[in-house]
Structure 1
Amino acid sequence: MCCTNSIGAFKYCFVVPVSSSNSTKMGQQVFSLFFLERKKLLCLIMIITFALILVFQYFELPYGSNILVPSKFDTEKTSTLSNTTIIHQPAASEMFNNVTLLNQTYSQHPFEKVNETRLYEENDTMSRPGIIGVNLTRELNNSYASFHSPSPSPAIAPTNLTPTPASPPTKTLSNDSEIADSINDERFKPLQDDDVDVISSNQSSITILPKEMSGSVIKVPETTSISDMNKLLLQNYASYRSMRPRWSSAVDQELLQARFEIENAPVVTDLGNLYAPLFRNVSMFKRSYELMEKTLKVYVYREGSKPIMHSPYLLGIYASEGWFMRLMEANKAFVTKDAKKAHLFYLPFSSRMLEETLYDQNSHSHRNLMQYLNNYVDMIAGKHRFWNRTEGADHFLVACHDWAPSETKQRMAKCIRSLCNADVKEGFMLGKDVSLPETYVRNAQNPTRDLGGKPLSRRKTLAFFAGGMHGFVRPILLQHWENKDPDMKIFGMMPKSKGNRNYIQYMKSSRYCICPKGYEVNSPRVVEAIVYECVPVIISDNFVPPFFEVLNWESFAVFVLEKDIPNLKSILVSIPKKRYLQMQMRVKKVQQHFLWHRSPVKYDIFHMILHSIWYNRVFTARTR
């Protein structure tokens, strides 16, 4: 008997005997050969399948998720659910456009004469430029939350040339018609951005999602309430740590000792000018502040040239970064010339001057602004060794312009960033970054002018707001409340008056001052309300209020979610009178922490900003 195997390559022949035992033996042999050939075929199929999987994994199918087994290349990608991350990398020629690196030292008195015509006068405190636009709503616009260390940008050879302004100097706005015109000016519109990092598409809807923040495992909810932020702060303090220093330094042990003393601060009874209910833990704050005064040393880099470095505004809504820079550079108690003794390193640039000097309104891009700062850091890292010790974790910046979060998201991402635009959905990290108070300074010689408000008996208005229609929240506010209720004084632009007297008088005579977001989460109205002793009502989801690390904001302010604007009056009238009187009294008490002085005083805004930076460094520092 002859038979062919399953592949047909060989023929097997057998002599079939008559006996039954031989017949059984022949059947067993045939079955063994068949089973052997089937095993070979299965092995071949498995090898081919595995090879195909490897090929697919190597080239990766363009559908956002990987197949069957993880690839080593996945660690270089950012993926949210099933959405694909798209990262736009500019060409080299684009990145170097209009960028110069300045390397000069600066020496000047901190209070040179200020040109007050640069003050932006508007009763909603100025039409601010938006940060980025891709024909989406403002809140879906930005996703700059990335704390992965980017590859260093190629350095540009330093020059001593001052960059030529890309656009004419901003003119003074002398009346409301000019202010309204400025809103329509190209310079004050959202940019058509080519720098958006993460865009995800889901069927017909378009959503922009934040990247995961390296160093923290805590996910940020889509709408972050004040109670959510309290939890996030504690969670990030527990989970986030800065980079371990590349070599040891005595300052690391000093920070470690400071943290131990703050965490174990004894209960204090003599508070001096402090009011305990305003603070999360007044004993910890007082001990931390004392250690800051006793221990902290700051090294200020002198590199960099005007107008971007060392030359800030002292007027208008971006004045916070300017006042801090002036007072920090002139300070003798905290500043050290010996960088080895420094606990913190200050990068003294003005985000407002960066925009005014380099932004080309016809470009609709601020990539050259970002590259300028990247080059500045490269120069600092090449000239000094201190940046490289922690990759910038012990460096800090103070920037109030709306674009600052995106301008500093690359080389400065690991720094402690003190930002007015403190949005947890745009990469602001609670516990590392610091919310900078946005203060509208109208008079540089007397920044506390008009301080205070009317007594409670003369505060007849329940709630007040006036301003331009920036962003999407304010139009909704006016839609529901403009001319709808005599207790709710909700306006758009108010008629012009000298020194904005009408606007200021309304704040001084109202019980609650509405502080809605504009294009971005921050608003100078928050500090204005405190200055005029009006209880702030903050309508801005995801906004981290100033000095959040130490202040208990819910003790003196009201937080209303954007979706609850239709119920605004109901929320306010439901607050018991006793509770309102308590909050208004605390607004007066907290006022001292939000005032600029030409010569800083204990617990004022300068010291509070510096303390928050110090406090976050203490709680995120690591030793070798």
Structure 2
Amino acid sequence: MGHEVQYILESKRLVWLVAVVFAVVIMFQYFEFPYGDVSSSMFSVRRAQPPLSQTNQTETSSESPKSPGNVTIFDVFNITEPVDTLDKGNSIGIEINIQSNDSTTSPPPSLSASLTPPTTVNSTAISPSIALDNKTSKPEVNAPDLDPNLKKPATSENNPALSVGESPVKELPPVKATHERPIGDIVTIADMHGIFLHNRASVRSMKPEWSLMVDQELLAAKLQIENAPVNSNDWALYPPLYRNVSRFKRSYELMEKTLKVYIYKEGGKPIFHQPQAVLSGIYASEGWFMKHMKESKHFVTNNPKQAHLFYIPFSSRMLEEKLYVTGSGSRDNMVQYLKDYIHLIAGRYDSWNRTGGSDHFLVACHDWATDETRKSMDSCIRALCNSDVGREHFELGKDVSLPETYVRSTQNPLRELGGKPPSQRSILAFFAGQMHGDVRPILLQHWENKDPDMKIFQKLPKSKGNKNYINYMKSSKYCICAKGYEVNSPRVVEAIFHECVPVIISDNFVPPFFEILNWESFAVFVEEKDIPNLKNILLSISNRRYLVMQQRVKKVQQHFLWHVKPVKYDIFHMILHSIWYNRVFRVNPVS
């Protein structure tokens, strides 16, 4: 009898133990599984799929916007999970990946518990006509329509792409800073190498909400680039100019073979879709790139699901010209204009939400573009002339330094190309320009009319075709590229254009195509504090070393030339390649 009682008591203890363990498992599953549904997470072998339109299927076109209904924009920026630790570019981690053959049209799965809840967008709040604030509006200029095809306020009645929701979105989700390595006040070119390698190894884009074939294509390209065979047989590529010529060559080949870009149709002229407005002057890079990109039959696709990159085709120069109120000192209306545009495309397409905008890019050369795009487009790859890694939130490894090019002839952008041979370059160093910023006055204070070898001037008198300025560049060994208000200057490309060795005096300036080119092999970098010692620095470079650098300037020149029709390795392809390259090395697979 005693044994039976003891057996019953032990059985009850076992039952209680099983019950407690089961309860603990249930609680664990409740908090850990991504969908917040314990039963479905534990017992279902299927995972919710994105809508049919979001799955990887072959379609002839996906240009039309999404069907009516409330649009959900997820807060894809407030990611609290730690960044993956990488080993030679490969992420290390464990993740549950439950495959499914379900082809239902249910909505995309909600984000994991590490993200903030989704926000419902009232589509009527995304008006394609952006009205300016009464305090900052220009009476003589109407803010251009975001969508030139829509002349009425956007509602579900006159545009089936937009539907009536319940709560308007007042602002985009906040952007989480991705810098992990602290940035000092002065960042030298040597520091930039370290920051670039650190960011490349530790920072990635957010994981896409659902997988497409393009993700696997990018991962395959990354693997091939990392394992590129040593190849120095390409006569067009001179190895000393590059960080790794074999990787660059393989990456460029894969870009030509693989890359597809989708260009958003939304946006009203002249701020959007009008490159002709910015084909000359110092902001010409954004106009020429837009022109060539829109005309490209090789890279452009009309199917967003086939796109590895999404181009936001706006001009930062025209944004400033049309919307900035002179004397106001405020850029708020321009920032809001771009925010509203992101709302518009995020409400019409799946593309932005799938990656949080990390496969989107913009090309902008105006000094203000860095700040104007920081809040609403910081997750994008930003090709910017104002590439200040110290103060302007330019992120090495993600953003691209856009060459600032002064184009004087839209019919012949190569006019006046070249310069005198080294033996006929009698001037040691040359600079001329307006007194923008705080560096140029210091340069003139120390060197204007102080030394016959140093031709340092304020802005030269006007001459036909700017001949005086061009002749000085063609006749100088070194061309001084001193920063103005911001770190960038068109003189960097002008020097290369006229085969003059650039001397860059601009702390924190990331030179163009930094991820590819070995700038120290053909340019001189002088810290701003060393301006008083400028001549001694230049004289310390041996004549033999100068001749090598000058020849390399001539060889790298091909990467900085605009052509009426793009040619291989030219500036258009190099800008696009840098964007492609940074995207490839930041891609984060679903599993």
TM-score normalised to structure 1 length: 0.68
Q: What is the aligned counterpart of 2:435 among 450, 453, 469?
A: 469
Query: Conserved in 2, the CA contact under 8 Å of 1:422 and 1:428?
Result: yes
> In the alignment, which residue of structure 2 is the partner of 1:229?
192
Find the partner of 1:433 among 386, 395, 399. 399
Corresponding residue to 1:268 among 217, 223, 231: 231
Q: CA deviation at 1:606?
A: 0.2
Residue 363 (structure 1) shift = 1.8
Change in Cα spacing, 1:168 to 1:315, as seen in structure 2 (3 Å) is: farther
State the match for 2:329 in structure 1: 364
Q: Which residue does the alignment assign to 1:386?
A: 351
Q: Deviations over 1:330-372 (max 9, x none)?
A: 1000000011010000000000000000000132100100000
- 2:310 & 2:191 partners in 1: Cα distance? 31
Asked if structure 2 preserves the Cα contact closer than 8 Å seen for 1:165 and 1:356, the reply is: no
Match of 2:87 in 1: none
Task: From the superposition, tell whether residues 543 and 149 of structure 1 become closer, same or farther in structure 2 (CA, over 3 Å).
Answer: farther
SS at match of 1:424: coil
Structure 2 counterparts to residues 303-322 of structure 1, below 5 A: 303-312=266-275, 313-322=278-287
- Residues 232 and 245 in structure 2, CA contact (< 8 A), matched pair in contact too: no
Q: Which runs of 5+ in 2 are unaligned?
A: 1-62, 65-114, 142-173
Inter-partner Cα distance in structure 2 for 1:366 and 1:217? 28
Pair 1:240 & 2:203 matched: yes
- Tell me which of 567, 577, 584 is aligned to 1:601: 567
Shift, 1:216, TM fit: 3.4
**Aligned runs of 1:297-376 on 2, under 5 Å?**
297-312=260-275, 313-376=278-341
Check conservation: 2:175, 2:375, Cα contact below 8 A.
no
1:166 maps to what in 2? 138
Does the 8 Å CA contact 2:365/2:385 hold for their aligned counterparts? yes
Q: Is the 8 Å Cα contact of residues 165 and 357 (structure 1) preserved in structure 2?
A: no
1:514 equivalent to 2:477? Answer no
Q: C-alpha separation between the residues in 2 aligned to 1:289 and 1:162?
A: 43
**Cα distance between partner residues in 2 of 1:213 and 1:521:** 25
State, as a whole percentage, how many aligned pairs show the same letter. 66
Shift of 1:162: 9.3
Task: Please say if residues 296 and 343 of structure 1, whose CA atoms lie closer than 8 Å, have aligned partners that are also in contact.
Answer: yes
Aligned partner of 1:618: which letter? V
SS of 2:195 mapped into structure 1:
helix
- Alpha-carbon contact 2:427-2:455 (below 8 Å) kept: yes
Q: How does 1:392-471 map to 2 (within 5 A)?
A: 392-425=357-390, 426-471=392-437
Partner residue, 1:217: 180
With CA pairs under 8 Å and 6+ residues apart, which has the higher RCO, 1 or 2? Answer: 1
| Equivalent-residue separation in structure 1 for 2:584 and 2:215 (angstroms) | 9
Paired position in structure 2 for 1:111:
none
Q: Which runs of 4+ in 1 moved over 6 A?
A: 148-155, 161-165
Letter of the 1:307 counterpart: P
CA distance in 2, matches of 1:315, 1:302: 24
**In the superposition, relative to structure 1, how do residues 273 and 415 fare at CA in structure 2: closer, same or farther (>3 Å)?**
same
- Shift of residue 220 of structure 1? 1.1
Q: How many corresponding residue pairs?
A: 438
Deviation at 1:167, TM superposition (A): 7.9
Alpha-carbon spacing, 1:614–1:567, altered in 2? closer, same or farther (3 Å): same
1:250 paired residue number: 213
Task: Spell out, residue by residue over 1:507-528, the C-alpha distance to the aligned partner (whole angstroms, 9 max, x if none).
Answer: 0000000000000000000000
Report the equivalent of 1:575: 541
Shift of 1:269: 3.3
How do 1:277-296 residues align onto structure 2 when only pairs under 5 Å count? 277-296=240-259
Tell me if 1:615 matches 2:581. Answer: yes
> Using a 3 Å threshold, how does the CA distance of structure 1 residues 342 and 492 change in structure 2: closer, same or farther?
same
The 1:566–1:213 alpha-carbon spacing in structure 2 relative to 1, beyond 3 Å, is: farther
Task: Name the Cα RMSD after superposition.
Answer: 2.3
- Map 1:36-115 → 2, pairs under 5 A: none
| Gap runs ≥5 in structure 1 | 1-103, 106-147, 170-210
TM-score when scaled to structure 2?
0.72
Secondary structure (helix, strand or coil) at the match of 2:434 reads coil
Partner of 2:519: 553
